[in-house]
Structure 1
C-alpha cells in the first residue's frame, strides 16, 4: 500500500534491519525498541488488524512469530519474550504487526509502560539483527 512504511520495508524500498524475509512474513528490528533486539513481524500483504489476516495465513504467520520468539531468547540470552499486538488502537503504523520483545527478570517493564532503548548506531542494530537471524530455527 502506498505510504505504508511497513509495506515499504517488505518491498525493499525502505531501509530496515531485517532479521528474516520469507513468504509467511518479514521481521525487522523496531526503530524505537523497548529493549535492544525488539523485533516486529509483519505479513507481506497490507493488512491493518489481526481480524484481516486470512484464516489460511494464520498458521504460517504465527509459526514465524513463534520461531522469532525462540530466536530472540536464545540469541540474546533473554529470560523470555513479551509477544504483543495492537489492533487499530495504539498502532503507530496501521499495518498488522507483532512485537517480539526480549525480557529478563527485573528489566523494569511494568504493565504497558514501554520505555525505549535506542541502538548506539547502525552497526549495533545490524549486529542484533544478525544474531537473531543466526538463531532462527
Structure 2
C-alpha cells in the first residue's frame, strides 16, 4: 500500500516526477501512460490522494468524467476502453485512484489495447439476482 509520501501519482501531481501532461484542472491531471498497452493510452487522476474510488470524496470527482471524455475525444479512437481498477484482486497496481483511456484499433485483435474476457455468471438465477438487487438497493 502506497503512503501519500511515496505515491508515484502524488509525486507527479507535485511536479517531483515529470509527466507528459495532457490536461490539468484544479482537481484532475491527465497524462500519457509510460507503460502503454496501446498507442494513445492515457491516465486521468484526481489530484487528491485516495486509494480506491470509494475513498475519493465526491467533491473531488466533478472533473473526472469530463476530463476522460476530452482525452478520449483527443485520441480520435473510434473504439476505446475507460478502465478504473480498485484493489489488487481487481488488478490495481498504483494505490491512487486513476482512470485509463485505452484506444482499441478495430483491427488490433489481441495485439493492442485492452484484452479481456467476460466470464458471465450463468449459475446465478433470476431469484438470486433479484435478492442481490434488493440488498444493494437497501444500502443506497
TM-score (norm 1): 0.72
5+ residue gaps, structure 2: 118-140
Corresponding position of 1:111:
116
- 1:81 to 2:80 alignment: yes
Q: How does 1:1-137 map to 2 (within 5 A)?
A: 1-73=4-76, 78-89=77-88, 90-109=91-110, 110-111=115-116
5+ residue gaps, structure 1: 113-137
**Residues 17, 8 of structure 1: CA spacing in aligned structure 2 closer, same or farther, 3 A cutoff?**
same
Whether the 8 Å contact between 2:84 and 2:98 is mirrored in structure 1 is yes
TM-score (norm 2): 0.71
Q: Which runs of 4+ in 1 moved over 6 A?
A: none
RMSD, matched Cα: 1.5
1:100: Cα distance to partner? 0.3
Using the alignment, how far apart are the partners of 1:7 and 1:28 within structure 2? 13
**Superimposed CA distance per residue, residues 69-127 of structure 1 (whole angstroms, 9 cap, x where no aligned partner):** 11122xxxx22211101001221111100000112112124316xxxxxxxxxxxxxxx
> What secondary structure, in the 3-state scheme, does the structure 2 residue paired with 1:2 have?
helix
Would you say how many aligned residue pairs link Structure 1 and Structure 2?
A: 108
Q: Which has the higher Rg, Structure 1 or Structure 2?
A: 2
